[in-house]
Amino acid sequence: MRYRKTMTATALLSRLLPWTDRAGRVSGWKLAAFIAAVLPGLWLGWLIASGGGGPKPVTFAIHDTGTWALWFLIATLAITPLRRIGNWPKLILARRLLGLTALAYSVIHLGLYVVDQHFDLGFVVREIALRAYLTIGFVATLGLLALGLTSTDGAIRRLGSNWNRLHKLVYPIAALGVLHGFMQAKSDVAPATLMAGLFVLLMLYRAAHASRFGLTRAGLPIVAAMAGAATMAIEYAWYALATGIPAHLVLAANFEIGDEPRPAMLVGLIGLAIAALGGWRMRGTSARPRRRGDVRLAACDTPRTATTTG
């Protein structure tokens, strides 16, 4: 009896571990996501402890956690298209962990801001209400909290089909996160532009999947080119509307060979790498499908039910 109880507790524990699937087996995707989730935090902690955070370690940590919150949000959004393009149905198991990691870094980011303001909560509230970029960040954090709190198995069951509807909020939340990053980026908007471009790339995959074109071998490079062009347009619009820097010169820099790749080029290259991956994974299938069902890589497209969150 005691032995059985121990077994049950062990089995339950193994299912609760962040790197195991529902059956309690280690999932390679979840393990990779877990390692990716904790590494930036450990690295930041080590940097701060060893004095590598510069003269203002809290400011350094605010920037670092904000950046990682957004990267993990983008990684969360990348799961569904990559699962389809790479034909990796089990990749979905990593999605919830990545989304919760984005939430965790956002909450730490907000917490560090409070620390930076010497725990003067009245001041923090006033700043959030008065400064547009903080208001936007706050709304994004609240949105992420709502998604995080409704990500438990019980909440998913209770919400039923409303769960999918509610969790579509992740798109506007990510857009707000990108905008917040842009607004405080000051002179160097290259990282914010890169994140905005990747966000557009991921949205284009969704639009292509929902359209009659689908995610085909022929369509993926076109999506990559469109995302690269959109990234240039976003960068141009930002410089034209929000800075005094001549936007046409920034646009022209995209067509020159410089020391560092421009965000638009990086987005295009990442899109092309994904297209190459898709081409490789779809080899042997028709590049010009005859029926709509063929276009969508039906084999890897498990139903979008809430239970696939991992």
Task: Pick out residues in 176-195 that bind ligand HEM (CB under 6 A).
Answer: 177, 180-181, 184-185, 191
- The residue (of 141 and 231) whose beta carbon lies closer to ligand HEM is 141
Binding mask 67-106 for ligand HEM (x = CB under 6 A): x-xx--x--------------------------------x
- Cross-strand pairs, 20: 26
Binding mask 255-294 for ligand HEM (x = CB under 6 A): ----------------------------------------
CA distances from 151 to 102, 146, 156, 160, 230 (A): 13, 9, 6, 12, 32
Q: Is 61 in the site for ligand HEM (CB under 6 A)?
A: no
Using an 8 Å Cβ cutoff, are 268 and 227 in contact? yes
CA distances from 224 to 23, 217, 220, 270, 289 (A): 37, 12, 6, 8, 20
In the block, tokens 């590494």 appear at 39
Q: Which of 75, 140, 194, 275 binds ligand HEM (CB under 6 A)?
A: 140
Smallest gap, in angstroms, from Cβ of residue 284 to ligand HEM? 39
Please give the structure tokens belonging to residue 229: 């062009």
Q: Which of 63, 90, 206, 281 binds ligand HEM (CB under 6 A)?
A: 63
Which residues form the interface with ligand HEM (CB under 6 A)?
62-63, 66-67, 69-70, 73, 106, 109-110, 113, 128, 134, 137-138, 140-141, 177, 180-181, 184-185, 191
